[in-house]
Amino acid sequence: MAAKPVAKRLVVLVSGSGTNLQALLDAIETTGAEAYGAEIVAVGADRAGIEGLARAERAGLPTFVCRVKDHGSREEWDRALAEAVAAYEPDLVVSAGFMKIVGKEFLARFGGRFVNTHPALLPSFPGAHGVRDALAYGARVTGCTVHFVDDGVDTGPIIAQGVVEIRDEDDESALHERIKEVERRLLVDVVGRLARNGYRIEGRKVVIQ
C-alpha cells in the first residue's frame, strides 16, 4: 500500500505586502496540504503592522515579529529569529519578500532548507533593488529566481528561474508587478515540488528528485 502523503511544515518569513505568501496560502487551500505537499505552520516578520502578517492572521495562522531594534546586536536578533522559527519545527523556511539578511546561527539551523525568492535573474542584480538595478542597467529581460540561501547576498544555489521581458515604457513599479506575477507561480511550483519530491544540493546544483 502506498504511504499516505505527509504535508511538510513551512514557516514563511515576510516584510511587506505578502502576495507571495498569499499565493502559497491559496495553493494549499485549493489543492489541500497533503496533495500540495506542505502546510504553513507559522508566518514571521521583521516588522509589525504589515499586510503580510494580516494575511496570515486572516488565514488563522500563528504569527511572530522579530525586530532587529528590539535586540542588543544583529547576532542576538539572528539567534532570536532562529529560535522563533525553530519553535514551529519547520521542514522548510521560505523567505517571501523578507528583507533581512540572516546570520550564522540561522544558517547553522536552517541552511539547505531556507528558500528565498528574488526579483531578478541571479547572479545579475542581487540585493535590495534587483528590479530597479535591471531597469537602470538597460537589460532587456529580467525575472525572478527561487534559490537556497547561503551566507552571501542572493548567492545560494538556484532552484528555478522565470523570465520577464522589460518594456520600453516600464518603470520600477510596473516591471515589479509583472515580475511578481511570474514569481508567485514559480514559488508555489518550487515549494510544492521540493516538499513532495525531496531534493539534494550538489555544490551549486539543486536536484529535485
Q: Does 119 bind ligand GRF (CB under 6 A)?
A: yes
Least CB distance from residue 183 to ligand GRF, whole Å? 5
Residue 52: count other Cβ atoms within 10 Å of its Cβ. Answer: 25
Q: Which residue is nearest to ligand GRF (CB)?
A: 97
CA atoms within 13 A on the CB side of 184: 16
118 binds ligand GRF (CB under 6 A): yes
Q: Is residue 132 at the binding interface for ligand GRF, with CB under 6 A as the rule?
A: no
The reply on whether position 147 binds ligand GRF by CB under 6 A is no
Most distant pair of Cα atoms in the chain: their distance: 57
Q: 161 - beta bridge partners?
A: 145
Size (the chain), residues: 209
Given a contact cutoff of 8 angstroms between Cβ atoms, the answer to whether 100 and 15 are in contact is yes
Please report how close the Cβ of residue 20 comes to ligand GRF at its closest, in angstroms: 3
Q: How far is the CB of 5 from ligand GRF (least distance, A)?
A: 27
Nearest to 96 by CA among 68, 111, 115, 79: 115
Q: How does DSSP assign 92-138, residue by residue? A: EEEESS------HHHHHHHTTSEEEEESS-TTSS-STTHHHHHHHHT
Min. distance of Cβ 6 from ligand GRF in angstroms? 27
Whether 118 is a known active-site residue: answer: yes
Q: What distance, in Å, lies between the first and last C-alpha atoms of the chain?
A: 21
The nearer residue to ligand GRF, 79 or 186, going by C-beta atoms, is 186
Q: Find the catalytic residue in 118, 129, 147, 176.
A: 118
**Among 183, 186, 194, 196, interactor with ligand GRF by CB under 6 A:** 183
What is the closest distance, in whole angstroms, from the C-beta atom of residue 180 to ligand GRF in the complex?
Answer: 5
Q: Is residue 162 involved in binding ligand GRF (CB under 6 A)? A: no
**CB nearer to ligand GRF: pick between 19 and 79:** 19
Compute and round to an integer the Cα radius of gyration of the chain: 17
CA-to-CA dists, residue 182 to 121, 150, 163, 185, angstroms? 12, 23, 8, 5
Q: Is 18 in the site for ligand GRF (CB under 6 A)?
A: yes
| Catalytic annotation, residues | 118
Residues that bind ligand GRF (CB under 6 A): 14, 16-20, 52, 96-97, 117-119, 180, 183
